[in-house]
Structure 1
Amino acid sequence: MRQRIVLPVRGRISRLALLAAFSAGILLAGFPEDDGFVRAQSRESAEYEVKAAFLYNFAKFVEWPADAFQNEKAPIALCVFLADPFGNALDDVIRGKTINKRELAARRVSDLRDLRACQLVFVSDKEGKHLPEMLNALKGASALVVGETDQFAERGGGIQFYMEDNKVRFSANVDALQRARLTVSSKLLALARIVHEKNHRKED
């Protein structure tokens, strides 16, 4: 897939870790859609293990402005808003890892006011209806907002997961990414389906 939009690009980055996470979507192919309740549970568990790996790799290929953190030692907070479909998967993926000398922290958030302390926010399909309130709470903040609801990216989210050929794929809303002042690697955008917001919503 060719890159169609160019945002500011970070320095040289290894592609191997990114491809490892994105190719992990193959895991889902092992779980037939109609193979019973246990299979369905296993498939969902595998799906969110893959998505947890995606979130970690998104953080590796996105750079936040300095004022997105309280100080130089503050961690990169990967937050899950309300319902948490990951179990321990997200915690396991980021345990012991750092990005640009910052530790990673997995947090569960239930109050909109706490979202501004997050660098990445994931909202599940179950909670996607809260996107307008989330975007309002994050107005002016540099947060990467990731979801999995239909039209999530076109409605103002930064990145949206979707399923294609039984694999996890993602769309990137370049309008939202630019508005949040996020520096995104061209390597990441090259693997995304690029979308724009309906009506090209702008910050007031």
Structure 2
Amino acid sequence: MVLFVKDGLSTPLFVAVTRFVLLISLTVGIARAEESLEYKIKAAYLYNFTKFITWPALQGTTFNICLVGGDPFQDLLDSLEAKTVQDKPIRIFRYDNIKQVKNCQLVYLDNTDIRINEAIPNALLVANLSNSLTVSSQPFFAESGGMIGFALEQEKVKLHINLKVLKQSGLGISAKLIEVSTVVGEDEHE
């Protein structure tokens, strides 16, 4: 404390600055912890989708989960490579853009070059992702033509499923997954 008095800083000012720095540090720490929990939940959902979605005859020797754009999961998904889907080992691939994606059963799109085509309502440009389950946290992803969108509602991760797009892709979905989701898009009650 003597050091600050000599430098012209009073003890109350020092205490106020210290409290402010601690408050900012605590706030940042809580925000990071909440974000980490959010992505742990999303990573668990991605794996569980493999149990509640059915793909037409899987080609290849692996079940591929592809991340396009950023990787908000960091290393959370790497542990999935010890698991299997339909007796095929899971492999995680990371791509910078959608044009690189091929042979992926599940595609997570994060801050990518994918944009909603404003000329065509409810159309999402996802290139040639036939037989791929498309998932994203981008706002209104499922409403815009993606299959499953993660939405934060009352600080909880919720699922929005575009049932029409999912069925058109040839993928099947368990009624159990539909029950815990919000169905969006056209033909919601088909």
- Aligned counterpart, 1:178: 167
Describe the shift of the 1:87–1:181 C-alpha distance in structure 2 as closer, same or farther (beyond 3 A): same
Greater radius of gyration (CA): 2
Alpha-carbon RMSD = 2.3
CA–CA distance in 2 between the matches of 1:120 and 1:132? 20
Describe the shift of the 1:136–1:51 C-alpha distance in structure 2 as closer, same or farther (beyond 3 A): closer
Q: Between the two proteins, what is the percent identity of the paired residues?
A: 33
**Deviation string, structure 1 residues 107-137 (Cα, Å, up to 9, x no partner):** 101242332311111112x33x614597441
Q: Which residue identity lines up with residue 49 of structure 1 in the other structure?
A: K
**Deviation string, structure 1 residues 57-97 (Cα, Å, up to 9, x no partner):** 0111111111x52x3xx2111111011100100112x1311
SS at match of 1:104: strand
Q: Contact 2:98 / 2:126 at 8 angstroms: preserved in 1?
A: no
Equivalent residues in 2 for 1:1-204, closer than 5 Å: 36-66=27-57, 69=59, 71=60, 74-92=61-79, 94-124=80-110, 126-127=111-112, 130-132=114-116, 135-138=125-128, 141-197=130-186
Count of matched residue pairs: 158
CA–CA distance in 2 between the matches of 1:96 and 1:187? 25
Greater RCO, CA 8 A, separation 6+: 1
CA–CA distance in 1 between the matches of 2:29 and 2:56? 44
Describe the shift of the 1:60–1:131 C-alpha distance in structure 2 as closer, same or farther (beyond 3 A): farther
Runs of 4+ in 1 over 3 A off after TM superposition: 131-136
TM-score (norm 2): 0.75
TM-score (norm 1): 0.70
Q: Which residue identity lines up with residue 92 of structure 2 in the other structure?
A: A
